[in-house]
Amino acid sequence: MALLNRVILLLLFISLNSHSLDRLEDLTDLQIQEAALAFVNLTTSPGIEGLNLSLAQPQRESSIARSSLGFSADFSLRDWPVDGHWGAALIQGQLDEGLMFIGRNDVPVLLAVDRDIMGIRGSFGVVIPITEHFKLRPFFSAIYTQTETFSYLIEGRANVDVHFPTDKPEFLTHFSSTGMTGSLQAEYKHWIKRRYRTQFLAHYNLNYSDTHSQEFEHLNTWGWSQTLVLKSEISTKLNWLSFNRPWRVKAYLNYHDFINQSELALGFTHYFELGGGMSWEWNIKPLDWFGVNSVGLSAGLIFGDTLEGFNIGLTGQ
């Protein structure tokens, strides 16, 4: 039973390559801990936007979704040489996964997993102008999450099937995590022929996470992780006005890299996103404190070495 619990724990928090788990005795406590921290990092790191991913390999199928509801903005600090930056977000993530591996007596076993995470994040920092077009934005974030996972272990399955059975026993586990993230954004904006606006953003995170579980001591762990997000965008105004405020159309290309995480922990280490969108420019500053530049809608295709997906969501700046 202890070995079975270790198998389930590992696969609750890990997306594995088809060759990475051959037999039950290959499991280690370190794999379990790294996988749990990687899942938290994927969901909570600042700068990572909504996503819907699909990964398919001969012995594994999985789908990952992440969404958030939040806002971040720069605000004025009177009698200070720099402005401030703040943000807050509710975060939600989900993973559905089916994975085949070899059990006892060389019997194929399917583990089907349905995992959900909910969290909250608050951020605060400063904005340091370097030039008219270039600024730095260092800030810190505090994060808290709760994760719940249902899983089904089915012996004798010869193929991956992520449809969850109703007549098999469930395995339920919970764990919480608290963390701090130090972030540094470097943002550059430039106009081309006074018509096209280009934006480039580099966002680096150093994450610390501490996980707690009353059910399994293997999940009482901590660790550091790093993420890098690179964003590029070009936009131009349209001849449309709503309440005397213009609309803008854009195209973008983003890159996400989970720097120090192995491919075993997530099933991937990086991905690209290519897309476009429209935004309605407000350019207002409520209460002379923080500014709202625009609200809009964007859609993009996500692709990488082992995955594909999409992102559709509301945007605000």
Residue 15 has a pLDDT of: 42
pLDDT digits (tens, 9 = 90+) for 31-69: 777 878 888 898 999 988 888 999 877 777 888 899 988
Given a contact cutoff of 8 angstroms between Cβ atoms, the answer to whether 277 and 264 are in contact is no
Q: Which CATH superfamily hosts domain 2-316?
A: Autotransporter beta-domain (2.40.128.130)
Most confident of the following: 76-85, 219-228, 306-315: 219-228
Amino acid at 80: W
Question: Which pLDDT value is given to residue 301?
Answer: 96
Strands (DSSP E) found in 193-220: 196-212
State the Cα–Cα distance between residues 49 and 66, nearest whole angstrom: 8
Q: Using the predicted structure, report yes or no on whether residue 305 has a pLDDT greater than 90.
A: no
Torsion of CA 202, 52, 292, 73, to 10 degrees: -50
